[in-house]
Amino acid sequence: MEVGAARPAARPTLSLAEAGATPILREYRAVKAAHPGALLLARLGDFFELFGEDAELAAPILGVILTGRAFGGAGRLPMCGVPAAAATQYIGRLLAAGHRVVLWDQIEDSGAGRGLVRREVTRVLSPGTVLDEAFLEPETAVRCVALWASNGRTGVAALDASSGDLQLGEVAGGLDSTTLAEDLERLQAAEVLLVEGERLDGTLPGTPRTALPVAWFDSARGAQRLREATGTATLAGFDADRLSIAHAAAAALLAYCERSRIALPAGFLRVRARAQASTMSLDAATRRNLELLGGLVGLLDRTRTPMGARLLRARLQEPLLEVAAIEARLATVAALHGAREIRAELRLALARVRDLERLVGRCVHGLASPRDVLAVAAACEALPRVAELVSELGVLAGEGRNQPSLAPPPGLAASLRRLLVDDPPATLRDGGAVRAGADAELDGLRGAGSDARSFIATLEERERARTGIRSLKVGYNRVFGYYIEIPNAHREMVPADYHRKQTLVGAERYITPVLKEQEAVVLGARERSVAREVELVAAGVAGVADHAAGLLAAAGGVAGLDVAQALAEVADEQGWCRPAIDASLTLEIEAGRHPLVEAALPAGAYVANDCALVGHAPTGPAVAPAAQLMIITGPNMAGKSTYLRQVALTVLLAQVGSFVPARSARIGVCDRIFTRVGAHDDLAAGLSTFMVEMTETAAILNTATSRSLVVLDEIGRGTSTYDGLSIAQAVVEYLHDAAHLGCRTLFATHYHELTALSESLARVRNARVEVVEEGDAVTFLHRIVEGGADRSYGIHVARLAGVPGAVVARARRLLAEHEQRRPIAADARGRVQLALPLASAAAHPVVEELERLDLDGLTPLQALNKLAEWHDRVAARPGGPEPG
């Protein structure tokens, strides 16, 4: 079929619906209708082609030229195409752009019949359900997440189709709930399935949404399909029996997979309920502030398998809340930490298990190559060594009561080894993957072929002898097959049974009946032996798929061990300690460090700092008030936010089950970690930045409990000084006083005025970052010490920066004046009050205007209008001006 005919400029562009009704277009339209919203790629000869609107959409993404064809109609139907041989790369681009792709492939040779070549939909690919190795990152799980909101709750079903992992959960609220947003961030959803007409705004804006009919979200059917898929009579074993809203989401998800031709047989699909109560949610700001999936994972990822790498990322996103569960993880890390040699051996053994999870997945999906199958065998052979080392250490491979067996399916590796050669080719196209002796039929086919091949190989010598032509050659090409070539000089000596086939410049090529007969044997045997190999390898793949459940359980155990050894490795190298975990409200860190800042500095340059806070529960025992909220002051660049982040990171690492960067740590489990750090470099963005800051602050004040850790940096910085100072003070008071709060809090601020709060609020303490100045040199010691910071520090910096002496001197005088004018005084209730100097009010343009106003020259109506105008202006500027 010809493609990409030249563009006839005059003809109108037609839509797919308007274009003619050639047989292929009729079929194309039918397939398109069966897969709404997807890009349909039709195989025409050596190309995959897109038509109409699909072509217009895809051409720029694919980077190919949009052409058009008449198709018998009066206009031109847009089309574009990509070579089938390079299709993978192009499909990857469409998926990355968030599109779903349907491959409508030829399932017979184009030459085979008259009429239309038979085509079928062979693959449906979408960003959330891709299975091919080419489209997957080893360390990133790809999840398709279906959502169903009902009765004030939202059911979440999240499937990793490459590994069969299906998580079910329900969160409070509808599609706009914060908890749902946090859950989708945690899951790193690659595609979201929604009911037609529903919207999911805000969360994961770049993630494609796919709309599905409401009838697909059927709870009873979902539960039924989950029971079938897991091969169980009840879902109670997965703690998933009561999640009826999530069952509806799962129903749609499984139906979607079915339409996408993704097989999820029992044993492969593993259902688990998201343990909402036993893991911590992390908001987007905290995730970002702590660089969980950036710098932190980069530091921690010493895993040796992609499964371990993925599990590490998942665990960083859901710290634990139960002491026993955290201790269980820590015990494994500790055992590995204390056994360097065993750990080194384990690392070697783990590497040989490779990505067993996805290897098994590819076998289940029928996408495994001979190399994948052999990799499964190698993994099975490595598992006993892993098990041996684990029992030597006396640790557990898995979490909780379900201990996975690390034992490989008996005999599987040996049978795969018997089947495949040691170094099989990447594909089965040319055969050569199956070992000689593995199959009698294949051996027979290969034998027949090789007899014929050796006949041909010796033909040259024999024909030279028979004809007496020394320069006679036997060769092969794709068009003519085997031939005998004779230079023109010897044309006279060519025997009568040679048939001329091709004329070259200085020679002729001939064939003989005997040669063609043997050639047919060679080619026929080859074709049949490749077909037989395909059958045999498919049986091997199916053998692996049959053992999916056992292999995946072992893979899960290996992933857990891999994460533990990675954390032990980091802890050993970086000198981290095992934290003591309990259910108290205590937080005690001795000589803590920020692992990422530390790594960026020369060895030994990082200054370690302590932290001691105790949360306040209203019902707690009446003891001498301990530090609950620490106000940290200090100049810019002194290390305040580094300290804040380091404390939050330490708690997070501990609850993930990792050792922590400190000499010692005692951590009463936190139910949430809230951080509001940074963004203050972004002052130019103005009010909107401040709005974001306040929204995040509001979320913290509304959701934190006395078990939470709250880390706030420069609250109120995004608005005018007095505005910001007032907000900051009110926030501190609330965190201290509110009955549901009293949470462990670090509060960094440049408002020195706030340090006075420690006098009136029993559990507030002051700390500052120490700075020494000798002559013109200032050194940031980065050491956190008790007490408030020197408030004239900014002026020192100005001097050091070369601001003229007169300006510095004037600034000193002004500072002294300001301090006199706005003392912080305590009110009758012992509350600190900030006396705002009148100067700030006088600076307001409305006030200035009022002073200048000629009252006698105004009518009552003018006065009223003036009043209304000022009112509007003042209301529009809640922050008022920055005082000079």
Round to whole Å and give the CA distance between 740 and 732: 14
Q: Which stretch binds ligand ADP (CB under 6 A): 33-41, 103-111, 600-608, 790-798?
A: 600-608
Q: Is residue 639 part of the contact set for ligand ADP (CB under 6 A)? A: yes
Residue of 153, 310, 526, 640 that binds ligand ADP (CB under 6 A): 640
Q: How far apart are CB 734 and ligand ADP at their closest, in Å?
A: 23
Among residues 597 and 761, whose Cβ is nearest to ligand ADP?
597
Residue of 403, 450, 477, 636 that binds ligand ADP (CB under 6 A): 636
Q: How far apart are CB 646 and ligand ADP at their closest, in Å?
A: 8
Among residues 343 and 717, whose Cβ is nearest to ligand ADP?
717
Write out the H or E segment, with its range, that includes residue 668.
strand 664-668
Q: How far apart are CB 786 and ligand ADP at their closest, in Å?
A: 17
Q: How far apart are CB 301 and ligand ADP at their closest, in Å?
A: 23
Binding mask 121-160 for ligand ADP (x = CB under 6 A): ----------------------------------------
Query: Exposed, middle or buried by CB within 10 Å (0-12, 13-18, 19+), for 569?
Result: buried
By CB under 6 A, what part of segment 509-568 binds ligand ADP?
none
Query: Exposed, middle or buried by CB within 10 Å (0-12, 13-18, 19+), for 255?
Result: buried
Among residues 565 and 641, whose Cβ is nearest to ligand ADP?
641
Round to whole Å and give the CA distance between 822 and 837: 6
Residue of 637, 800, 809, 839 that binds ligand ADP (CB under 6 A): 637
* Angle formed by the axes of helices 548-574 and 513-546, nearest 10°: 70
By CB under 6 A, what part of segment 32-61 binds ligand ADP?
none
Q: Is residue 607 part of the contact set for ligand ADP (CB under 6 A)? A: yes
Ordered DSSP codes for 528-595 = HHHHHHHHHHHHHHHHHHHTHHHHHHHHHHHHHHHHHHHHHHHHHHHT-BPPEEESSSEEEEEEE--H
Q: Taking a C-beta distance cutoff of 8 angstroms, is the pair 146, 256 a contact?
A: yes
Q: Which stretch binds ligand ADP (CB under 6 A): 96-104, 171-179, 314-322, 637-645?
A: 637-645
Q: How far apart are CB 633 and ligand ADP at their closest, in Å?
A: 10
Q: Is residue 190 part of the contact set for ligand ADP (CB under 6 A)? A: no
Q: Which stretch binds ligand ADP (CB under 6 A): 21-29, 84-92, 522-530, 602-610?
A: 602-610
Q: Which stretch binds ligand ADP (CB under 6 A): 638-646, 652-660, 689-697, 756-764?
A: 638-646
Q: Taking a C-beta distance cutoff of 8 angstroms, is the pair 65, 82 a contact?
A: no
Among residues 267 and 634, whose Cβ is nearest to ligand ADP?
634
Among residues 556 and 639, whose Cβ is nearest to ligand ADP?
639
Q: Is residue 641 part of the contact set for ligand ADP (CB under 6 A)? A: yes
Give me the amino acid identity at 336: L
Please give the span between the terminal C-alpha atoms of the chain, in angstroms, as a whole number: 77
Q: Which stretch binds ligand ADP (CB under 6 A): 266-274, 599-607, 651-659, 694-702?
A: 599-607
Determine the longest span between alpha carbons in the chain, in angstroms.
Answer: 132
Q: How far apart are CB 538 and ligand ADP at their closest, in Å?
A: 57
Exposure class string for 345-354: b at 16+ Cβ within 10 A, else e: bbbebbebbb
Binding mask 659-688 for ligand ADP (x = CB under 6 A): ------------------------------
Q: How far apart are CB 689 and ligand ADP at their closest, in Å?
A: 17
Among residues 594 and 763, whose Cβ is nearest to ligand ADP?
594
Percent of residues in the chain assigned helix, strand, coil, to nearest 5: 45, 20, 35
Q: Which residue has the tokens 């097959």?
A: 481
Ordered DSSP codes for 58-98 = HHHHHT---EEE-TTSSSBEEEEEEEGGGHHHHHHHHHHTT
Q: Is residue 782 part of the contact set for ligand ADP (CB under 6 A)? A: yes
Per rule CB under 6 A, count of chain residues that contact ligand ADP: 14
Among residues 640 and 717, whose Cβ is nearest to ligand ADP?
640
Q: Taking a C-beta distance cutoff of 8 angstroms, is the pair 825, 833 a contact?
A: yes
Q: Is residue 638 part of the contact set for ligand ADP (CB under 6 A)? A: yes
DSSP state of 295: I
Q: How far apart are CB 716 and ligand ADP at their closest, in Å?
A: 15
Q: How far apart are CB 662 and ligand ADP at their closest, in Å?
A: 12
Residue of 216, 606, 674, 722 that binds ligand ADP (CB under 6 A): 606
Contacts of 678 (CB under 8 A, 6+ apart): 289, 641, 713
Among residues 167 and 641, whose Cβ is nearest to ligand ADP?
641
Q: Which stretch binds ligand ADP (CB under 6 A): 265-273, 328-336, 524-532, 636-644?
A: 636-644
Q: Which stretch binds ligand ADP (CB under 6 A): 171-179, 403-411, 640-648, 788-796?
A: 640-648
Tell me the residue number closest to ligand ADP, measured at CB. 639
Q: Which residue has the tokens 């989708």?
A: 184
Among residues 216 and 606, whose Cβ is nearest to ligand ADP?
606
Q: How far apart are CB 605 and ligand ADP at their closest, in Å?
A: 6
Q: How far apart are CB 595 and ligand ADP at their closest, in Å?
A: 12
Among residues 305 and 646, whose Cβ is nearest to ligand ADP?
646
Q: Is residue 717 part of the contact set for ligand ADP (CB under 6 A)? A: no
Q: Is residue 504 part of the contact set for ligand ADP (CB under 6 A)? A: no
Q: Taking a C-beta distance cutoff of 8 angstroms, is the pair 445, 435 a contact?
A: no
Q: Is residue 290 part of the contact set for ligand ADP (CB under 6 A)? A: no
Q: Which stretch binds ligand ADP (CB under 6 A): 254-262, 281-289, 635-643, 699-707?
A: 635-643
Q: Half-sphere exposure (CA, 13 Å, Cβ side) for 411?
A: 2
Round to whole Å and give the CA distance between 586 and 605: 29
Round to whole Å and give the CA distance between 676 and 692: 10
Q: How far apart are CB 648 and ligand ADP at their closest, in Å?
A: 13
Q: Taking a C-beta distance cutoff of 8 angstroms, is the pair 763, 736 a contact?
A: yes
Q: Taking a C-beta distance cutoff of 8 angstroms, is the pair 674, 711 a contact?
A: yes
Q: Which stretch binds ligand ADP (CB under 6 A): 4-12, 238-246, 482-490, 631-639?
A: 631-639
The token pair at 493 is 């000596």
Round to whole Å and give the CA distance between 96 and 90: 10
Residue of 597, 667, 741, 757 that binds ligand ADP (CB under 6 A): 597
Q: How far apart are CB 319 and ligand ADP at their closest, in Å?
A: 23
Q: Could you tell me how many residues make up the chain?
A: 884
Q: How far apart are CB 637 and ligand ADP at their closest, in Å?
A: 4
Round to whole Å and give the CA distance between 765 and 616: 14
Among residues 562 and 598, whose Cβ is nearest to ligand ADP?
598
Q: Is residue 642 part of the contact set for ligand ADP (CB under 6 A)? A: yes
CB atoms < 10 A from the CB of 677, how many? 22
Q: How far apart are CB 683 and ligand ADP at their closest, in Å?
A: 14
Round to whole Å and give the CA distance between 56 and 80: 8
Round to whole Å and give the CA distance between 173 and 179: 8
Write out the H or E segment, with its range, that includes residue 687.
helix 687-703
Q: Taking a C-beta distance cutoff of 8 angstroms, is the pair 433, 416 a contact?
A: no
By CB under 6 A, what part of segment 214-273 binds ligand ADP?
none
Among residues 529 and 749, whose Cβ is nearest to ligand ADP?
749
Q: Which of 577, 568, 574 is nearest to 344 (CA)?
A: 568
CB atoms < 10 A from the CB of 112, how many? 9
Distances (CA, A) of 272 to 83, 243, 389, 716: 42, 11, 29, 43
Cross-strand bridge partners of residue 91: none
Which residues contribute to the site for ligand ADP (CB under 6 A)? 597, 601, 605-607, 634, 636-642, 782
